[in-house]
């Protein structure tokens, strides 16, 4: 644990000089140490001022990495279609491959599908399956396995977690041993991105026991104990030059403090979900650092539009204007997040984010005006700690509402059972949604009229129309216009209050490199196993 010391008043001035270039790095360190800063701390400060040294070193083979996720239990899965937690996702990327891989900045790369093509109307895809790829049991991977794996997402009885994402596909067809076609019932230009999801991994045809983890992925499953750990050895016959690591061990430490301690003590090399209170602790410790990646995952409040008080648009506006977004990000998230704009598509989505839409600011006067117009002076909000910052956000909101004479009652619920008994039932409840692979999928989940997870019961026909049209649109300017229109509609009309998006905050040992910058989950969207390497 690092000790906190008072820093001499002249240090910021020195830092300024260093940044301007009037002071050399060596002089800065010398002066700073004279003012009572330790040499290590001074060089660290100097390091922050200069562009980080570019890591030109080439990846090295060998080594062992142990990762500790934030949650696990007897329900850990090795069956891709029901993978639901960070530890499941990581195991999917360790053991299996998908048709498509999503890497840095949401870019798509061919994986088991060597290439793919789509017809003009985006209703039929042809995938050329890579030849010479083998499952860990030695049998060759062919189109038969692809079709069998992908069909598991279709049909009424499928428990697939991404069934809704795959709803545009009518049928997967085998053309020949290494060619597969997806026949769609409606245009879907985003299908390849959806195939990059961790649930869309390719398993061997007719697999009955998924616990054996027979995939084509970079590591072979050595042991799998749900709720304890899994161990993996490098797949010597992997079809790519990677992975670099010899062995990987995946476990979870559910206690957040114990997880951080294990990272600092060197017992694990990678941890997920560092809580805001521990960030400084990790930053000050030797040999480990924080990696913070902006995502679209958010915490928010659903005001149900089919019942009071959410039915009243002015009530929703009041709840939106009372959010002190800057302060939530600064004080509650300690800067590791972004302000939200009452619609789910954050800048992490790149081109599909509507930067033209003005940011809604904290404005108690407007909030008061809207709430007076609605004639409502009290409401009940159900909350549960389902994502960092939510409960604090609700308390801040309660205090700010009190100042304008509104009485918000907060009902705290346990996480356990929240989704079944509170969410989509109580008129005003907190919610979180993880980032999805496409802006369309993220919007469709919550805002498609009549959708299963339309959790504000806001049915806007125009949004439904745009969701379909944008999937068929290939012109980038028109496409952006459509996404902007949808985001504006949600921002102005839905019952969603989205004050903030969280970053993925990981703790990483300084010796580990190569983790992709992918925002779809912790540790590079859980894609790290194939790319990580250890400095000698």
Partner 1 sequence: MLRRAILRRIIIGIVTLFVVSVMIFVGTSVLPGDVAEIILGQMATPDSLAALRHDLGLDQPAYIRYFLWLGDLVTGDLGISKAGAGFGTVGTAISTMISSRLMNTFRLAGMVALIAIPLSLTLGLAAAMYPGTRLDRIITFSTLSLISLPEFLVATFLVLILAVQLGWLPSIAYMSGNETGLQLLRVLALPTLTLVIVVSAQIVRMTRATVLNVLSSPYIEMAILKGMPRKRIILRHALLNAIGPIVNVIALNLAWLISGVVIVETVFAYPGLAKLMIDGVQTRDLPLVQACAMIFCTTYVVLIFIADMVSILSNPRLRHPR
Interface residues toward partner 1, by CB under 8 A: 1, 68, 73-79, 81-82, 84, 152, 156-161, 163, 207-211, 225-229, 251-255, 257-258, 261-262, 264-268, 416-417, 419-421, 423, 452-453
Cβ closest to partner 1, residue 19 vs residue 452:
452
| Contact by Cβ (8 Å): 394, 410 | yes
User: How far, in Å, are 59, 128, 209 from residue 63 at the CA level?
Assistant: 12, 34, 30
**Helix/strand/coil for 428:** strand
Instruction: Assign 3-state DSSP to the chain and report helix, strand, coil percentages, each to 5.
Output: 35, 20, 45
Cβ closest to partner 1, residue 323 vs residue 446:
446
509 token code pair: 């040992």
Least distance CB 291 / partner 1 (angstroms): 21
* Burial class, 423, CB count within 10 angstroms (exposed 0-12 / middle 13-18 / buried 19+): buried
117 token code pair: 């093509």
Q: Which residue, 421, 434, 420, 350, is CA-closest to 165?
A: 434
Q: Which residue, 434, 525, 503, 506, is CA-closest to 67?
A: 506
Question: Residue with structure tokens 């799998």?
Answer: 224
Least distance CB 42 / partner 1 (angstroms): 23
Cβ closest to partner 1, residue 100 vs residue 384:
384
Cβ closest to partner 1, residue 163 vs residue 513:
163
Least distance CB 420 / partner 1 (angstroms): 5
| Contact by Cβ (8 Å): 133, 140 | yes
Least distance CB 83 / partner 1 (angstroms): 9
Least distance CB 280 / partner 1 (angstroms): 15
Cβ closest to partner 1, residue 454 vs residue 470:
454
| Contact by Cβ (8 Å): 288, 264 | yes
Largest CA distance in the chain: 74
Cβ closest to partner 1, residue 98 vs residue 213:
213
Element (H, E) at 502: strand 496-509
Cβ closest to partner 1, residue 46 vs residue 203:
203
Residues in CB range of 189: below 8 A, 6 or more apart: 118, 122, 471, 472, 473, 474
Cβ closest to partner 1, residue 207 vs residue 343:
207
Cβ closest to partner 1, residue 252 vs residue 466:
252
CA–CA distance, 110 with 101 (Å, rounded to integer): 6
Q: Are strands 219-225 and 288-303 parallel, antiparallel or unpaired?
A: unpaired
Q: Which residue, 78, 82, 66, 69, is CA-closest to 217?
A: 78
Cβ closest to partner 1, residue 196 vs residue 514:
196
Cα 483 from chain centre: 20
Cβ closest to partner 1, residue 284 vs residue 492:
284
Within 10 A of 396 (CB to CB), how many other CB atoms are there?
Answer: 19
CA–CA distance, 296 with 478 (Å, rounded to integer): 23
Which stretches within 313-408 are classed as H helix?
A: 313-321, 325-327, 364-374, 390-403
CA–CA distance, 97 with 49 (Å, rounded to integer): 40
Least distance CB 153 / partner 1 (angstroms): 11
Alpha carbon dihedral 396, 384, 505, 258, in 10-degree steps, equals 110
Least distance CB 267 / partner 1 (angstroms): 5
Least distance CB 362 / partner 1 (angstroms): 29
Least distance CB 166 / partner 1 (angstroms): 13
Q: Which residue, 264, 402, 424, is CA-closest to 322?
A: 402
Least distance CB 266 / partner 1 (angstroms): 8
Cβ closest to partner 1, residue 79 vs residue 342:
79
Element (H, E) at 489: helix 476-493
Least distance CB 349 / partner 1 (angstroms): 20
Least distance CB 95 / partner 1 (angstroms): 13
């Amino acid at each position: 644990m690092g000790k906190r010391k008072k820093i001499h008043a002249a240090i910021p001035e020195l830092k300024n000089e260093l940044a301007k270039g009037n002071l050399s790095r060596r002089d800065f360190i010398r002066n700073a140490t004279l003012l009572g800063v330790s040499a290590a701390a001074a060089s660290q400060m100097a390091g922050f001022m200069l562009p980080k040294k570019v890591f030109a070193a080439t990846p090295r083979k060998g080594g062992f990495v142990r990762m500790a996720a934030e949650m696990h239990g007897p329900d850990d899965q090795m069956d891709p279609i029901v993978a639901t937690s960070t530890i499941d996702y990581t195991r999917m990327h360790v053991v299996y491959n998908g048709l498509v891989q999503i890497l840095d900045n949401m870019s798509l790369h061919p994986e088991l599908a060597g290439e793919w093509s789509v017809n003009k109307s985006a209703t039929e895809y042809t995938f050329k399956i890579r030849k010479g790829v083998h499952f860990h049991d030695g049998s060759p991977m062919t189109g038969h396995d692809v079709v069998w794996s992908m069909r598991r997402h279709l049909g009424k009885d499928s428990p697939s977690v991404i069934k809704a994402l795959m709803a545009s596909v009518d049928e997967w067809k085998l053309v020949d041993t290494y060619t597969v076609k997806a026949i769609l019932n409606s245009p879907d230009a985003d299908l390849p991105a959806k195939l990059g999801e961790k649930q869309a991994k390719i398993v061997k045809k007719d697999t009955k026991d998924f616990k054996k983890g027979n995939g084509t992925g970079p590591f072979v499953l050595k042991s799998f104990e749900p709720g304890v750990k899994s161990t993996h050895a490098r797949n010597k016959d992997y079809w790519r030059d990677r992975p670099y690591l010899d062995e990987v061990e995946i476990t979870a430490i559910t206690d957040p403090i114990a997880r951080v301690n294990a990272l600092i003590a060197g017992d694990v090399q990678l941890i997920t979900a560092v809580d805001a209170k521990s960030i400084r602790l990790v930053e000050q410790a030797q040999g480990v650092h924080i990696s913070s990646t902006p995502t679209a995952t958010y915490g928010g409040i659903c005001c149900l539009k089919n019942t009071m008080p959410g039915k009243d648009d002015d009530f929703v506006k009041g709840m939106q204007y009372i959010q002190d977004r800057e302060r939530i990000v600064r004080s509650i998230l300690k800067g590791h997040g972004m302000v939200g704009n009452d619609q789910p598509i954050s800048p992490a989505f790149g081109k599909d984010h509507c930067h033209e839409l003005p940011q809604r600011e904290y404005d108690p006067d407007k909030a008061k005006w809207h709430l007076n117009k609605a004639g409502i002076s009290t409401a009940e909000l159900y909350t549960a700690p389902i994502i960092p910052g939510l409960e604090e956000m609700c308390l801040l909101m309660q205090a700010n509402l009190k100042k304008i004479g509104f009485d918000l009652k907060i009902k705290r619920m346990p996480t356990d059972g929240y989704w079944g008994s509170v969410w989509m039932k109580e008129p005003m409840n907190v919610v979180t949604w993880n980032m999805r692979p496409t802006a369309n999928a993220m919007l469709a989940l919550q805002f498609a009229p009549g959708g299963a997870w339309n959790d504000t019961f806001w049915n806007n026909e125009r949004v439904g129309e745009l969701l379909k049209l944008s999937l068929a649109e290939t012109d980038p300017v028109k496409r952006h216009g459509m996404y902007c229109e949808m985001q504006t509609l949600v921002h102005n009309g839905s019952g969603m209050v989205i004050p903030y998006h969280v970053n993925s905050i990981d703790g990483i040992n300084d010796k580990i490199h190569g983790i992709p910058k992918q925002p779809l989950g912790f540790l590079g969207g859980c894609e790290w196993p194939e790319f990580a390497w250890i400095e000698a």
